[in-house]
Every structure is written in structure tokens, then in C-alpha cells.
Homo-oligomer: A and B are copies of this chain.
Amino acid sequence: MSDQITAVDLRVRYAETDQMGVAYHTHYLVWCEVARTDHMRRRGVTYRELEGQGLRLAVVEASIRYRQPARYDDLLSVRCWVREVASRRVVFGYAIDRPADGTLLATAQTALIALDGGHHMSSIPDVVRSRLGAVPDPVRL
């Protein structure tokens, strides 16, 4: 099951801080997307290729809980996994940690739906769906 949860490492950029001296809150969702892209790639689903085939996955819901602030130059680990997958919709979970002190900084989830090239509702192809198997949450969201 370990290959069903992907962890990516990234470092907080100066551009991502705000004048409160911490990372600005919307960037956490960008980091989640970096982890989602990587998770899909490791599961054999390269999002860039999906788009090339006319399929898009659009975010329709996002929710995030900020527990501790990330700071400039912090090295973070962002975990991503699939929470639920249905014919037209897939829900990803995320946990953002700072390994240096073992702190859980944030947890999040996003729901995405499949759209075709004309931005109409579509289905997630079976081959994609089968690779994005849901797993139990490794942390409480």
C-alpha cells in the first residue's frame, strides 16, 4: 500500500511568504497540487498526457486546515493519496509535514471532476480509475 501514498519534498520559496513572516495560506493548495501531479505520475497517470488526450480534471471543492505555519526555507514533505474515486469524480487527501521537527502543518482535501475539451462533464476513463485506488486516510483530515 505504500505506493498508494506519495510524498514529495519541497522547500518554501521566499515568494511564498507574506508579511506575517510565514507562508501565505493559498500556496499550501499549490503544494498539494504538486504532490497530486506526482502521485498520479507514480500511479501511471501522467496528467500532462491526460490533457493531451482531451481530458481535464477540474477542482470543484477544496478544504484545508492549517495547524502550524510553514516558514521560508522550510523543507516540507507533502503526502497525497486518493480518498474516493467514482465515475466522474475523484477526491484526494493531503498532509503537509515539516520533517525537521516532525510537525504536521496542514491537512487538506480536494475534489476533482472530469471534463472534456469543451469543459463539459465527462467520465474518468476506466484505466485511470483503476490506477487511482482509494486508501484509508493515513492522518485525520
Contacts and interface: CB of A to CB of B under 8 A. Distances in A.
Interface of A: 11, 13-15, 17-22, 24-27, 29-30, 33-34, 37, 46-48, 51, 56, 58-67, 69, 72-73, 119
Nearest to A61: B65
B18 A26 contact: no
29 contacts: A13-B33, A14-B18, A14-B47, A15-B18, A15-B26, A15-B30, A18-B18, A19-B19, A19-B20, A19-B22, A22-B58, A25-B59, A25-B62, A26-B26, A26-B27, A26-B30, A37-B73, A48-B72, A59-B66, A60-B66, A61-B63, A61-B64, A61-B65, A61-B66, A62-B62, A62-B63, A63-B63, A63-B64, A69-B119
The 5 closest A-B pairs by CB, nearest first: A63-B63, A17-B19, A26-B26, A48-B73, A25-B59
Nearest to A49: B73
A60 B65 contact: yes
Contacts of A30: 13, 15, 26
A13 B25 CA distance: 13
